[in-house]
Amino acid sequence: HGTSRINEAGHLEIGGCDAVELAKRFGTPLYVMDEAWIRSRMRNFVKAAKETMIPFRVAYASKAFNTLAMCRLVDEEGLLLDVVSGGELFTALRAGMPAERIYFHGNNKSPAEIELALDAGIRLFVADNFTELEMLEAIAAHKGKVARVILRVSPGVEAHTHAYIQTGQADSKFGFDLESGQALQGVRMAEEAGHLCLEGFHCHIGSQIFETEAFELAAEKMAGLCKDSYGQFGFETKVLNMGGGFGIRYDENDHPQPVERYVNIIADAMKKQFAGLPFLPEIWIEPGRAIVGTAGTTLYTLGTVKEVPGVRKYVAVDGGMTDNPRPALYQAKYEAFLANRALEEAEEVVSIAGKCCESGDMLIWDLPLPAVRQGDLLAVPCTGAYNYSMSSNYNRFPRPAVVFVQNGQAELVVKRETYEDLISHDVIPKRLLKNAP
């Protein structure tokens, strides 16, 4: 993927940086992000959007990977930024991302989060439910401001993906229900509110989706809602956000479409749906995984080996579900290879175990590798999305460092956590202090 290649030493090289050198310099586990590739993925989307010849904007769903440096890339490349929490918003603002290009998602925004966003002057809120509309109105009124909103709608489209990352089906915690008329009720409520400015709608049908039909169907349903809102209230949709969810290739079973294809499918559906209507909304999409997923590679050092005679060989890495919870959560599949001996033929089949105290902490089952040795460097590609962002301190493992690589330069963008970091929020009540009187 991206700018990776195997160099003369038989080592993996990413962004012109030798993975063995990266491991030496920054330690392992290490998240390596290919900056040129992230930028090129963003540019592909933006270019495709422009070429549709309709108003079409691309946002980055920052939940996939959000750090100060990442927000700088999003700003430089001119995308919008989707945040889902005060924490993501704070990161974006601190990075200098212009507030008018940030919008706020989430199904249970707190009053404090809403205030932070209103004060910052973000582009809009994606209201998820009636409670949020009421809260937004009340807080905006209190501040004497107007909150721009779009309504998240649950369009009743089921995409074929893992049940936990499916979101568009009717029985979902997200969004105003379309079938039962909740979405139209939401339009009425927002239009009547004195401190809300309704701009349109949003839907997101799930993540890691390959089939284009699901997007077509969702486009049709959402356009239907725009038409109904126009018919009933004379409301002209300005923004129609079709969410993210565009799949990437983790292993040979995944067959993603080129990004242009997803963009064109959505644009074509909209051209058709809005033909003859007096308005055409600005179409937004908000990919996360498709922008950063393939740009990330995790480097691990191989450690202990356990062989169950005649059954299986377990080889443990110095990380696991703490830096990549996706196999444990979603049975996600990954490929991997030895970064320090990338040209050598496979000689054995091993299973890659994490080092957490948990049987489910297995990263990869039955992986063909050259005869492995302690100290070998394992590279797991496609770990740029939902890995660092879902990492944890389980077992009190410090989180790995993140580096951006490009043109032979490696730069730290997240420092490795230290043991001191781990206890920095701990407090011992006085009565429990050692030698307390």
CA 244 from chain centre, in angstroms, equals: 9
- H helices of 144-257, where? 182-192, 213-233
- Crossing angle for the helix pair 68-77 and 86-94, nearest 10 degrees? 70
φ, ψ of residue 108 in degrees (nearest 5): -155, 65
Cα torsion 124, 129, 134, 135: sign: negative
245 is in an annotated binding site: yes
Please pick, among 71, 197, 203, 357, the residue that the annotation labels catalytic. 357
Which C-beta is closer to ligand LLP: that of 331 or that of 359? 331
Which C-beta is closer to ligand LLP: that of 235 or that of 386? 386
Tokens of 306: 């356990």
Q: How far is the CB of 124 from ligand LLP (least distance, A)?
A: 14
Q: How far is the CB of 246 from ligand LLP (least distance, A)?
A: 6
Which C-beta is closer to ligand LLP: that of 19 or that of 225? 225
Q: How far is the CB of 386 from ligand LLP (least distance, A)?
A: 3
d(CA 128, CA 186): 10
Which C-beta is closer to ligand LLP: that of 129 or that of 340? 129
φ, ψ of residue 431 in degrees (nearest 5): -65, -15
Do the Cβ atoms of 387 and 10 come closer than 8 Å?
Answer: no
d(CA 244, CA 317): 32
326 is in an annotated binding site: yes
Q: List contacts with ligand LLP (CB under 6 A).
A: 61, 63-64, 105, 165, 167, 204, 207-208, 243-246, 286-290, 326, 330, 385-386, 390
Which C-beta is closer to ligand LLP: that of 33 or that of 61? 61
211 is in an annotated binding site: no
Q: How far is the CB of 150 from ligand LLP (least distance, A)?
A: 11
386 is in an annotated binding site: yes
Q: How far is the CB of 324 from ligand LLP (least distance, A)?
A: 9
Tokens of 30: 């290490």
3-state secondary structure of 366: strand
Nearest to 339 by CA among 108, 18, 16, 2: 18
262 is in an annotated binding site: no
φ, ψ of residue 24 in degrees (nearest 5): -65, -45
**Active-site annotation holds for 357:** yes
288 is in an annotated binding site: yes
Tokens of 290: 């498709």
Burial call 152-189: b when 16+ CB within 10 Å, e when fewer: bbbbbbbbebeeebbbbbeebebbbbbeeebbbebbeb
Tokens of 255: 């067959």
Burial call 51-89: b when 16+ CB within 10 Å, e when fewer: ebebebbbbbbbbbbbbebbbbbbbebebbbbbbbbebb
Q: How far is the CB of 30 from ligand LLP (least distance, A)?
A: 20
101 is in an annotated binding site: no
- H helices of 293-418, where? 326-330
DSSP state of 52: T
DSSP labels, 406-424: ETTEEEEEEPPP-HHHHHT
Tokens of 243: 């969410």
Tokens of 380: 């797991």
3-state secondary structure of 352: strand
Q: How far is the CB of 421 from ligand LLP (least distance, A)?
A: 24
Cα torsion 370, 376, 378, 379: sign: negative
Q: How far is the CB of 250 from ligand LLP (least distance, A)?
A: 10
Residues of the binding site for substrate: 289, 326, 330, 358, 386
Catalytically active residues, by annotation: 357
Which segments are annotated as binding site? 245, 286-289, 326, 330, 358, 386
Annotated binding site for pyridoxal 5'-phosphate: 245, 286-289, 386
